[in-house]
Structure 1
Amino acid sequence: MSSRPLPVSVPVVRLPLLALVAALVLAGCSGDVPEASQAAAASSAMAVTTAPVEMRDLARTVLVSGAVAPVEEMQLGVEVSGLRVTELLVDVGQSVRRGQVLLRLDRRMLDSELRQAEAALREAEAGAALARANLARGENLARERYISAGQLDELRAVRTQAEARVGTARAGRDAAALRHSFAELRAPADGIVSKRLVQPGQVVGAGGELLRLIRDGRLEWRAELPVTQLSSVKPGDRIALRGPGGVVVEGRVRAVSPGVDAATRTGTVYADLPDPKGLAAGAYLEGRIDTGRARVATVPAAAVVLRDGFATLYTIATKEGATVAEARRVRTGAREGAHVELLDGPKPGQQVVVKGAGFLADGDAVRVVPATQAAPAAGVAR
């Protein structure tokens, strides 16, 4: 009986095969990871639209605050002293006409002075008439040689002295009449009473201010500008003021001061207000002065957003293969319609974010789409 060797069982090694299969599977999938990551990043990027910085003809304006004041304010008083006010015929805010009586003083003393002056004039005229009559008779007697030539000369001298006294008396009467007229204060021009500094019964002095009158009711707007802005304003430029209740009052620059104040380095702009629309003298209002048009760099107004209190634009950049938004602080100027002047920042032709700018932060991933497809990604505005 032959002996055969027993069969030896050989174990099957399966672990390396599984590891090889797993390695092959992982190796096959590893090529899709970057593409998947990029697709996920692209889907999460915010869709925005852009527009270029453009050169446009834009209205040039100067914004400044100033006071409303009378074009000419007249300080009125009387020319006599020591008289009492008996009638005050106007009050603040009342319109008056040229020659209208504004107040009256107690004129009894002036009446007496005028009567004395008139009596003195009549006395002088009577003396002059007598002197002329005596001279006429003397001339007749001199022709008949009843009086001497020396006596005739004396009569002529008396006549001349009498006529001189008439002139003096007439001047005194005119002065008394003028002083008598000072008992009434009359308006020197049409206007509006802006201030009253006297009361009935008050004893007034010559030259003291009693009333104040805005001549013709004309008001103007006065603004102080630094020399850099003053040079751009000229007579005839249009202004617009925003009054109480949002009422817009328009006017024109009448004059620009030729120099600047040595202390403040500012000059004054004077603008007429043909229709003040209820503005009061002394009101302090912001105004816009239109100084013409100029070709300047502009961006859409929607592209400018506030970040930390500063005007900011977002430009497009590529970093590590991704499209991102870069924040840039800028200075803006005049605004006209949907466009804002850009004083500094991106150059003409450079693209800035318009739609979606309010939702961006510096470095956010974005994808630029046509304007019709732009929609802000889910989230909150920063």
Structure 2
Amino acid sequence: MKQLKPTLYLLNNSRIMIVLAMAGLTAMSPSWAQNSASASAGSSASNKAAATSKPALTVTATQVGSGQMATRLTANGSIAAWQEASIGSESNGLRIAEIYVNVGDVVKKGQLLASFASESVQADLAQAKAALAEAEATASEAITNADRARGLQASGAISKQQIGQYLTAETTARARVNAAKAVLDVQQLRMKYTQVLAPDHGTISARLGTVGAVVGAGAELFRMIRQGRLEWRAEVTSAELSKLSAGMPVTVYAPNGDQATGKVRMVAPTVDVNNRTGLVYVDVIVSKEKNAANAFKPGMFARGEFQLGSSQAITIPQQAVVVRDGFSYVFKLNPDQRVTQVKVQTGRRMVVNGMEQIEVLSGINSGAQIAATGVGFLNDGDLVKLVSAAPPTNSAPAVNSTAAKK
């Protein structure tokens, strides 16, 4: 009996360990089951949340349309006077007595601009008149003597030599009268030149003479913009010169934003060999009321647009375009209400019914649905919510447009 006790003790211990192990497994089973159930519930909730995700943004939709868009060529250039007259002195060595106009004055043809001191000219004129009177008196006597000699020529009362002398004296007297008249005409012309008159109507652009100055013949006293006409000298590349012709309408924009209408007067027959550009001369039509603020002045830089006509174009609203990294994009609406970012190439611009439209050269076709608002906050693949769509772009005539910059 003493030998069997250890064996029974070992058996009892083994049974206890097995019982304890089974009890531990039983105690752990509810926790494992609970974790498994929680994982399953979390997966189902995630799938349900994904199925009911909220839109990223509420947008309005518009349709890519088409319409007639004006084709215009944009160029830069300078405003200049159509013709600038140089008004100078035709008298030599005379003193300027008075100047009656200043820079900016509008004058008429024949208006008095300045006058010279005329005392010396008046004295010369009086002397010329006296010389003419003397010559005429001498000529009158010579003519009388010649007539008498002709009457006695047939009778032989006087010699042929004396008759010839009388006739020669008559011819000489007549010549002296003509010379005296010529001198008188010169002095009268000098008297006329003591007054400087406007050669045409226009605007005084410069005044170089001063009162009291003694000027020589040909000295410039004034400069005048003839007839107040201005022209815009546009610089156009040689490739674009062939598109322009005389009579084409032009819109010229001043630096302050004012605009004036114009018409192409002439296209330069040559091109500058240095920059390969040619000048286009445009007559600028500016009324006095419109140019009251002197928006257009000679020497001023200005921008202009040549109206080349119109053509059919695909158009979208300006607000539907977003610029990112230097490129233009629109967001196309898909049937699943998600957007696709599409890269487009833009061209001309115009204003239709107060809304700016942009021409699309490539990237999207007419009739496609695109997001019209909020495009700056969208990304490719975003889910959006649509509200009442904007009407499609119509084909109304262009009111304003600009050529695409190259």
Q: Which TM-score tier does this pair reach, normalised by the shorter chain?
A: 0.7 to 0.9
Confirm or deny: 8 A CA contact 2:58 2:387 kept in the other structure: no
Aligned with 1:202 (options 205, 213, 225): 213
Confirm or deny: 8 A CA contact 2:265 2:282 kept in the other structure: yes
| SS of equivalent residue, structure 1 residue 104 | strand
C-alpha distance in 2 between matches for 1:61 and 1:132: 80
Shift of 1:270: 1.2
Gap change, CA 1:28 and 1:189, over 3 Å in 2? closer
- 2:291 corresponding residue in structure 1: 277
Whether 1:356 aligns to 2:377 is: no
| SS of equivalent residue, structure 1 residue 57 | strand
C-alpha distance in 1 between matches for 2:217 and 2:377: 73
Between 1:197-206 and 1:50-59, the stretch displaced more is 50-59
Shift of 1:82: 1.9
| SS of equivalent residue, structure 1 residue 262 | coil
The 5-angstrom pairing of residues 247-266 of structure 1 reads 248-259=258-269, 260-264=271-275, 265-266=277-278
Q: Which 5+ residue runs of structure 2 have no aligned equivalent?
A: 1-15, 391-406
Confirm or deny: 8 A CA contact 1:325 1:366 kept in the other structure: no
Confirm or deny: 8 A CA contact 1:47 1:366 kept in the other structure: no
Counterpart AA for 1:255 = R
C-alpha distance in 2 between matches for 1:327 and 1:269: 43
Confirm or deny: 8 A CA contact 2:344 2:360 kept in the other structure: no
C-alpha distance in 2 between matches for 1:200 and 1:24: 111
Whether 1:134 aligns to 2:152 is: no
C-alpha distance in 2 between matches for 1:313 and 1:190: 56
Gap change, CA 1:23 and 1:95, over 3 Å in 2? closer
- 2:3 corresponding residue in structure 1: none
Shift of 1:242: 4.7
Whether 1:295 aligns to 2:312 is: yes
C-alpha distance in 2 between matches for 1:343 and 1:149: 107
Counterpart AA for 1:251 = T
Aligned with 2:131 (options 112, 120, 126): 120
| SS of equivalent residue, structure 1 residue 358 | helix
Per-residue Cα deviation, 1:5-62 (whole angstroms, up to 9, x for no partner): xxx999687567986797688669857755642432xx14334344344331012334
Gap change, CA 1:146 and 1:312, over 3 Å in 2? same
Gap change, CA 1:108 and 1:28, over 3 Å in 2? closer
- 2:223 corresponding residue in structure 1: 212
Counterpart AA for 1:252 = G
Gap change, CA 1:177 and 1:162, over 3 Å in 2? same
Shift of 1:83: 1.5
- 1:316 corresponding residue in structure 2: 332
| SS of equivalent residue, structure 1 residue 206 | coil
- 2:50 corresponding residue in structure 1: 37
Percent same amino acid at aligned positions? 27
- 2:398 corresponding residue in structure 1: none
TM-score (norm 2): 0.75
C-alpha distance in 1 between matches for 2:369 and 2:337: 17
Per-residue Cα deviation, 1:230-261 (whole angstroms, up to 9, x for no partner): 444442414253564x5x44322141324333
Counterpart AA for 1:358 = G
| SS of equivalent residue, structure 2 residue 180 | helix
Shift of 1:336: 1.7
| SS of equivalent residue, structure 1 residue 126 | helix
C-alpha distance in 1 between matches for 2:149 and 2:316: 106
- 1:153 corresponding residue in structure 2: 164
Between 1:54-63 and 1:85-94, the stretch displaced more is 54-63
Aligned with 1:190 (options 201, 226, 234): 201
Gap change, CA 1:340 and 1:317, over 3 Å in 2? closer
Gap change, CA 1:322 and 1:98, over 3 Å in 2? closer
Aligned with 2:280 (options 268, 282, 288): 268
Counterpart AA for 1:90 = V
- 2:404 corresponding residue in structure 1: none
Confirm or deny: 8 A CA contact 1:55 1:348 kept in the other structure: no
Confirm or deny: 8 A CA contact 1:241 1:250 kept in the other structure: yes
Shift of 1:194: 1.9
Per-residue Cα deviation, 1:106-140 (whole angstroms, up to 9, x for no partner): 22222232223223322322222222111111012
C-alpha distance in 2 between matches for 1:69 and 1:172: 43
Confirm or deny: 8 A CA contact 1:50 1:368 kept in the other structure: no
| SS of equivalent residue, structure 2 residue 212 | coil
Per-residue Cα deviation, 1:200-223 (whole angstroms, up to 9, x for no partner): 011112212111122233333333
CA-atom RMSD in angstroms:
3.4
Q: Which 5+ residue runs of structure 1 have no aligned equivalent?
A: 1-7, 374-382
Whether 1:340 aligns to 2:340 is: no
Gap change, CA 1:104 and 1:190, over 3 Å in 2? same
Between 1:261-270 and 1:364-373, the stretch displaced more is 364-373
Confirm or deny: 8 A CA contact 1:50 1:354 kept in the other structure: yes
Counterpart AA for 2:79 = V
| SS of equivalent residue, structure 1 residue 143 | coil
Counterpart AA for 2:192 = S
| SS of equivalent residue, structure 1 residue 210 | strand
| SS of equivalent residue, structure 2 residue 89 | coil
Gap change, CA 1:238 and 1:219, over 3 Å in 2? same
Between 1:51-60 and 1:178-187, the stretch displaced more is 51-60
Per-residue Cα deviation, 1:282-308 (whole angstroms, up to 9, x for no partner): 333444444332222221111123435
Confirm or deny: 8 A CA contact 1:325 1:360 kept in the other structure: no
C-alpha distance in 1 between matches for 2:331 and 2:281: 40
Per-residue Cα deviation, 1:50-87 (whole angstroms, up to 9, x for no partner): 43443310123344444333322211011122221111
C-alpha distance in 2 between matches for 1:333 and 1:185: 54
TM-score (norm 1): 0.79
